[in-house]
Structure 1
Amino acid sequence: MTAPTSTAGPAPAAPPAAGPRALTGRLGPVAIVFMVVAAAAPLTVVGGAAPLGILLGNGVGFPALYALSGVILLLFSVGLAAMTRVVPRPGAFFSFVGYGLGRRPGLAAAYLALLTYTTIQVSVYGYIGFIMSGTLAGLGLPTLPWWAWALAIVAVVGVLGYRHIDLSSKVLGALLVGEVGIVLAIVAGVLITGGNEGLSAAPFAPSAVLSGSPAIGLMFAIAAFIGFEATAIFRDEARDPERTIPRATYAAVIGVAVFYTLASWGLVMAWGPDHVLDVAAADPGGMIVATAAKYLGTAGQVVVQVLLVTSMFACVLSFHNVITRYQHTLSNAGLLPAAVGAVHPRHLSPSASSLVQTTTAVALVVVFAALGLDPVLQVFTWFAGVATLAITILMAVTSLAVIVWFRRTRVDARPWHTLVAPALGLLGLAGAAAAIVANFPLLVGDVDAAGAQRFGVVSGVLLALVVALPAVGWAQATVLRRRRPQTYARITDAIA
């Protein structure tokens, strides 16, 4: 099937033979799942986001929102997996939106994806700098500002990202096992002791799920999944991409949903439905540490404190790998400077893109430090909010692209995979995006003196980023269409 020159997406062609700019590898489903689930930072979510979801969201009913988010994203994944099988490109959202909706929307999606992963990564750099500064100072070591620790972590991540992906996958796998293990140990302690008020299904009662502010709770729940969809980014380095990528995607969504639902339920049971809100309000950031101390003793408390740091490190390393591969793909499509697409001759990694991403992270941390931003209340909270909204919009647009592509090409006639599931996922994601926008000021702390949310300067600037970056991509594609039609035609033809 010949690729058309109109704005409609082209039919996928067989990927060209591997060359000096192509990534290679033999990652299996387990290795890829480790890569993307580590990006979700399980312990950081359970220890940081879950208490905030309980406190600011729907209280006792918050665990059910992880299950709801899992269902929505699993429906989205059905279409994503179907598209992966017929579009042999490593660009994920960038490629899929391009084929389904056209090259200009595709490039706009690429820029929105870069915004998503860059903002979530830099937000965690702020948090990890804050945690390390406080933790190490408490051990009697010299006190350094948060940004100094953040820059040190950027350097370590840069070294690992520069080398072969196998090294990163092994590091992430080891850290992920530790995170999951300590959380399951806490849940086991709750199960064995019966919790603070006995074990129950109270968090899943409709009255609990709909209490408080479920829309805000849904924001925290969806944010916990950011990164799972990046399985398609590792297509070139997968052992058998047509089978490995779909399996890894399903495993990541189901695993994350079950784990977070179980862990947050255990957190509620640990303190009891009648007291969990008070505990979360007293110290949301320290809730997981206090829970570990209560059910695992001092040793468990120390382990949790250490693993919180490694959890955030795993998160930024995983997102570093995702961003570098997006940039590599864009470069090979002629949309970024050619030098960015270079592959290291020995490590077989997107080394040039890794250096660019490391430089970007350093620049952002330095700027935030110079502006005097608070690493948690501003760097972490603001930019995690941007990432949550951006990824929700991106997945909704991708669902639409999947539907349009399969309706037009008919290369896959399965209704559930190509129409029903993607449509249901689209509805769920569109609803979630609308809820996030409506509650965005509260998410980023843009409230008036009386505590009521308002769309002020902070909300306006951050929401503008979600509009501006895709607009830049759309404008670039428009210019290329007029001035460099050959490059424009290659927007969806990145080297695989």
Structure 2
Amino acid sequence: MSAADQAAALKDTSHDTSGTALRGNMGALELIFTVMAYNGPAVVFLGFLPVAILLGNGVGTPVAIIVCGLVIAMVAFGLVKMAGRLDKPGGFYTLITAGLGRTTGLAAGFTALTCYFLVLVGVYALGGMTLGAVIQEIFDGPHIAWWVLALPLLALATVLGHFNINFSAKVLTFFLMCELVLMVVYDVAVLVQGGAHGIGFDSFTPHHISSGSISIAFLFGIGLFGGFEATVIFRDEVRKPERTIPRATYGVVALLAGMYALTAWCFINAYGADAVMGAVSGDLTGSAKNSVKDYVGQFAYDSATVMFFTSSIALILAAHSITARYLFNLGADGIFPQSLGKAHPRHVSPHRASIVVSTAALITIACVTLAKIPESQLYALLAGLYGYAFMILMVLVALAIGVYLLRDRLHGPAVAPAISSFIAFGIMCLTLVLATKNFTLLTGATGMTKTAMLSLIWGVTVLGAVYAVVVRRKKPEVYARIGRQ
């Protein structure tokens, strides 16, 4: 990118009259909660941590989470620096374009759109299943198919997606606060009661840190931070982005690392280091909720069941918002119909992109239902696909940040964050290799299904690159806009 191009990239967009700029008034705390809601803390605690302990490095899981948090912080260091210099919306799509060029940038844009759409459909399935659990376990109601219960959740996301992000942010903040209260009460209860056999620090011993599968632990650990980069997607919708985005990005990474490591450690102590592996292998889906019941009581157990559902709602709203914004940015650049990149004249929201995302989700839910994929496999499959696509994006963005910061002629090179990003790039490459090698463990897919899933993810990435080449020849004016340039 030339100095002139970089100067143009820094041009103030506050007077944008084309309708391709979104607006909002989120502060750092609202942005942190919006992004953390996308991470789904209650879902992670009740559904993911037991899996990470069983398949990863067992009792050493808290340390694995902390180490992964440090690696993500290395990426965040460069991401914040680059986002501050670039001053453009679009998230990974924009950052990767600025660092690695428009062809790779559009490939990343297609991958990001697919990545977040997959997790959106996955959490619709999760939301339907968890609502079904609430109906059956708390109200002794009948079994209702997940897709039936997912439809009102889709309608809710569509309605909220029509309005300004400030309203959704308040809803997400409320849900997240409930989840955090549950986790804090649980952690305190375990520590005060001394766990199963007194509070132990076995998780931090070399023996347990190196036990089990360190590679799988790292793979799951990185996945715990999915969505941290969403802070830059909402650039146009926050107050003072030059201050709000750095604070929110570092805040999200620090809170996720601290919260998940602490809760994993408390969960291990709740059963005891010598018994936790037996607990999670004997009842993988119920071990966390049962622990809540043992230490906090029946009311907390019922609350955990409800919050598993409300956390799914928060995930849906956040995933819908992020997916719609990626589609909005691709529309604003002319890659997709430009009407998708027009903001609502009153709410200044990506309302058209939001409707398209909901329509596509409805069609996909119908196709998945007709395919008769078992409920027990559906969310794991879609979440695994998302995790794999996310790793591809992490590899690209870590490299893009390092390249951009070293060759930035407008502001001068930023060596420290560039080196940090390059180190993270190497680690992410290794993690992607591990994810490919352990794709069956990640998704549950085998045989032809595994081949089809891998082909889908990489096919979308290649399609984006090929389409960029075609656009460069046939529509150079559109090619010049790729990456919100």
TM-score by length of 1: 0.94
The aligned residue for residue 18 of structure 1 is: 16
Amino acid at match of 2:202: A
* Structure-2 residue corresponding to 1:458: 449
Q: Is the 8 A contact 1:189 1:296 kept in 2?
A: yes
Distance 1:2 1:126, change over 3 A: same
What is the rounded CA distance, in whole Å, between the counterparts of 2:484 and 2:177 in structure 1? 37
Q: Partner residue of 2:339?
A: 339
Q: TM-score normalised to the size of structure 2?
A: 0.96
| Correspondence for 1:473 among 464, 469, 473 | 464
Secondary structure, counterpart of 2:297 in structure 1: helix
CA apart distance, 1:342:
2.2
Q: Distance in 1 between matches of 2:450 and 2:221?
A: 20
Counterpart residue identity of residue 312, structure 1: S
Q: Tell whether the 8 Å contact from 1:12 to 1:88 is kept in structure 2 after alignment.
A: yes
- 1:15 CA displacement: 4.0
Shift in CA distance, 102/4, structure 1 to aligned 2, threshold 3 Å: farther
Whole-Å separation in 2 of the counterparts to 1:412 and 1:73: 24
User: Is the 8 Å Cα contact of residues 151 and 365 (structure 1) preserved in structure 2?
Assistant: no
User: Is 2:18 the partner of 1:27?
Assistant: no
More displaced stretch, 211-220 vs 384-393: 211-220
Amino acid at match of 1:85: G
CA distance in 2, matches of 1:440, 1:204: 29
1:425 is matched with: 424
Please report how far the alpha carbon of residue 143 of structure 1 lies from its aligned counterpart in structure 2 after TM superposition.
3.2
**CA separation of 1:415 and 1:72: change in aligned 2, threshold 3 A:** same
Cα distance in 1 between the residues matched to 2:47 and 2:381: 15
- Correspondences of 1:19-58 after superposition (within 5 Å): 19=17, 20-58=19-57
**Are 2:59 and 2:273, in contact at CA under 8 Å, matched by a contact in 1?**
yes
Whether 1:125 aligns to 2:124 is yes
Residue pairs, 1:322-471, within 5 angstroms: 322-377=322-377, 379-410=378-409, 411-417=411-417, 419-446=418-445, 456-471=447-462
The answer as to whether partners of 2:164 and 2:349 remain within 8 angstroms in 1 is yes
- Report if aligned partners of 1:229, 1:249 keep a CA contact under 8 Å in 2: yes
Say whether 1:277 aligns with 2:277: yes
Aligned residues: 481
- Quote the offset at 1:235 in angstroms: 0.3
- How far 1:11 moved relative to its partner? 6.5
* Conservation of the 8 A alpha-carbon contact between 1:129 and 1:375: no
User: Contact 1:392 / 1:432 at 8 angstroms: preserved in 2?
Assistant: yes
Match of 1:452 in 2: none
Contact 1:324 1:354 in 2 (8 A): yes
Residues 391-422 of structure 1 show CA distances to partners (whole Å, capped at 9, x for unaligned) of: 122112111111111222242433212x2211
CA contact (8 A) 1:199 1:269 kept: yes
* Structure 2: 5+ residue stretches without partners: none
Equivalent of 2:477 in 476, 480, 486 = 486
Tell me how far 1:98 sits from its aligned partner: 0.7
Whether the 8 Å contact between 2:187 and 2:263 is mirrored in structure 1 is yes
Q: Which amino acid aligns with 1:480?
A: V
- 2:259 matches 1:259: yes
**Counterpart of 1:200?**
200
| Post-superposition offset of 1:133 | 1.7
**Residues 325 and 350, structure 1, Cα contact 8 Å, conserved in 2:** yes
Q: How far did residue 2 of structure 1 move?
A: 5.6
One-letter code aligned to 2:456: L
Matches within 5 A, 1:69-148: 69-138=68-137, 139-148=139-148
Separation in structure 1 between the aligned mates of residue 20 and residue 316 of structure 2, nearest angstrom: 25
Q: Distance in 2 between matches of 1:375 and 1:159?
A: 27
5+ residue gaps, structure 1 = 447-454
Partner of 1:296: 296
Identity %: 33
**1:228 alignment partner, SS class:** coil
What CA RMSD, in Å, does the superposition of the two structures yield over aligned residues? Answer: 1.7
Aligned to 1:214: 214
Instruction: Kindly indicate whether residue 315 of structure 2 is the aligned counterpart of residue 315 of structure 1.
Output: yes
Q: Which amino acid is 1:456 matched to?
A: G
Counterpart Cα distance in 2 of 1:162 and 1:174: 19
Contact 2:176 2:311 in 1 (8 A): yes
